[in-house]
């Protein structure tokens, strides 16, 4: 009689293990399977041989394109530029709707343009909004624009039938002249009211323009008091408000608005250069490179005088030159092109770069 093995009793050497499962022997491969496996291995080796082994690179912060020896500067710039500029936040849709609802009360639409970009700063939606109304264009910030180009742009709009005033909105003297022009433009309306026996009628004007064109500054100078909040950035005015200018004149202030899509990206760039688009969405280095290409064609003497940029320099080379001349340096005294880009844009917007117009009218 076989004696039962107690639980936990160690197995003696040579004693068969009743519960152990025998290992499965690998099944012999067929000839076809062996050939297929061999071919697969050979293909894998062939692919690996064609591709050099990838080295693990340490992660580092992505830097802007640096000029490379033997590589054209134009190629470097092409790697930087290419983003699309578009800015139409939700409040602008509401502002346009509010203007459409209020336009029936309005006699004259006063549109402020930036004299540095007199065409790009003209919102095409305003022409639709103001259809059938008296019109007045104020070319603002003439103190920052090229005087010769400003005269050409004034003639351009006058040829199209607009009344045009040139202005530095910070000047109360310039603003004071607007009342007389508004009354002259609305002369027909005033005479019509008198013929109907309406005495003491008031002219109702709407002030419109793109963000950061200087509407609030103009209104404060025009009304002779701090009627609106001002700021050197787009989007300061968000709602509408009526302002009493004179006994016979009321002004409706409106928020600065753009239009939903820039069909021409150069329009977006020009508006970005002058600060009418939110800086937070912009690639400053890319923007500065594009600006340099324009300035090198039209205002090369200004660039030479301020930054010592010489003729023939590419955009990226000119940006490095600005960084060196204006001491925009990173650790290790390396030129900081990002900082130089911001400096260039600030110099343009503030007027430190000189009186510059960034587009010219059609011949």
Q: Is it the case that residue 5 has pLDDT exceeding 70?
A: no
* Range with top average pLDDT, 14-18, 61-65, 119-123, 240-244: 119-123
* pLDDT for res 24: 45
* pLDDT for res 264: 94
Kindly report, residue by residue over 89-98, the tens digit of the pLDDT: 999 999 999 9
* pLDDT for res 210: 97
| Ranges assigned E (strand) in the chain | 108-114, 134-140, 163-166, 203-209, 241-246, 249-253
Kindly report, residue by residue over 129-171, the tens digit of the pLDDT: 999 999 999 999 999 999 999 999 999 999 999 999 999 988 8
| Contact partners, residue 213, CB within 8 Å, separation at least 6 | 112, 113, 114, 121, 140, 141, 256, 276
* pLDDT for res 200: 78
Q: What are the extents of the domains in the chain?
A: 74-85+262-350, 90-253
| Count of residues in the chain | 363
Residue 251 to residue 178: CA distance in whole angstroms: 12
Residue 246 to residue 250: CA distance in whole angstroms: 7
* pLDDT for res 81: 54
What dotted CATH number matches 74-85+262-350? Answer: 1.10.1580.10
Spatial CA neighbour of 255 closest among 295, 221, 292, 209: 209
Kindly report, residue by residue over 23-72, the tens digit of the pLDDT: 544 455 544 454 444 454 444 444 444 455 555 444 433 333 344 343 34
Query: Encoding tokens for residue 278?
Result: 């939110």
Note whether 302 and 356 are within 8 A (CB): yes
Kindly report, residue by residue over 305-332, the tens digit of the pLDDT: 999 999 899 999 999 999 999 999 998 8
Kindly report, residue by residue over 275-309, the tens digit of the pLDDT: 999 999 999 999 999 999 999 999 999 999 999 99
* pLDDT for res 326: 95
> Strand 108-114 to strand 134-140: parallel, antiparallel, or no bridges (unpaired)?
parallel
Kindly report, residue by residue over 184-238, the tens digit of the pLDDT: 999 999 899 888 888 778 899 999 999 999 998 999 988 887 655 444 444 444 5
Note whether 234 and 278 are within 8 A (CB): yes
Domain 90-253 bears CATH identifier 3.40.50.300: yes
Q: Is it the case that residue 15 has pLDDT exceeding 90?
A: no
Spatial CA neighbour of 171 closest among 216, 126, 217: 217
Spatial CA neighbour of 188 closest among 173, 166, 177, 203: 203
**pLDDT, mean of residues 345-356:** 97
239: confidence class by pLDDT, cuts 50, 70, 90: low
Question: φ, ψ for residue 312 (rounded to 5)?
Answer: 95, -10
Cβ atoms within 10 Å of 306's Cβ, excluding its own: 17
CA end-to-end span of the chain, whole Å? 121
Q: Three-class SS of residue 329?
A: strand
Note whether 74 and 100 are within 8 A (CB): no
């Amino acid at each position: 009689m076989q004696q039962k093995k107690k639980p936990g009793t160690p197995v003696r050497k040579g004693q068969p293990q009743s519960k152990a499962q025998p290992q499965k022997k690998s099944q012999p491969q067929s000839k076809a399977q062996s050939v297929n496996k061999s071919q697969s291995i050979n293909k894998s080796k062939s692919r690996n041989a064609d591709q050099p082994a990838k080295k693990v690179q340490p992660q580092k912060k992505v830097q802007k394109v640096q000029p490379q020896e033997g590589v054209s500067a134009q190629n470097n710039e092409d790697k930087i530029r290419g983003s699309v500029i578009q800015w139409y936040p939700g409040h602008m849709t509401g502002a346009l709707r509010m203007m459409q609802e209020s336009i029936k009360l309005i006699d004259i639409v006063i549109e402020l343009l930036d004299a540095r970009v007199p065409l790009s700063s003209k919102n095409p939606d305003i022409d639709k909004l103001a259809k059938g109304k008296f019109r007045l264009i104020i070319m603002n910030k003439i103190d920052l624009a090229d005087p010769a180009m400003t005269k050409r742009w004034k003639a351009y709009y006058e040829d199209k039938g607009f009344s045009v005033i040139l202005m530095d909105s910070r000047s109360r003297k310039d603003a004071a002249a607007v009342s007389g022009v508004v009354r002259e433009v609305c002369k027909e309306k005033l005479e019509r009211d008198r013929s109907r026996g309406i005495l003491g009628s008031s002219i109702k004007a709407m002030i419109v323009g793109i963000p950061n064109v200087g509407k609030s500054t103009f209104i404060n100078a025009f009304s002779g008091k701090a009627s609106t909040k001002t700021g050197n950035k787009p989007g300061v005015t968000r709602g509408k408000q009526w302002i009493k200018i004179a006994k016979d004149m009321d002004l409706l202030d409106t928020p600065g608005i753009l239009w939903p899509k820039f069909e021409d990206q150069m329009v977006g760039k020009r508006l970005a250069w002058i600060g009418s688009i939110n800086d937070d969405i912009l690639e400053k280095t890319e923007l500065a490179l594009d600006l340099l290409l324009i300035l090198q064609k039209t205002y090369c003497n200004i660039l030479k005088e301020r930054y010592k940029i010489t003729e023939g320099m590419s955009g990226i080379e000119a940006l490095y030159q600005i960084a060196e001349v204006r001491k925009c340096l990173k650790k290790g005294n390396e030129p900081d092109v990002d900082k130089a880009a911001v400096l260039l844009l600030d110099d343009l917007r503030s007027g430190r770069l000189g009186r510059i117009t960034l587009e010219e009218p059609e011949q």
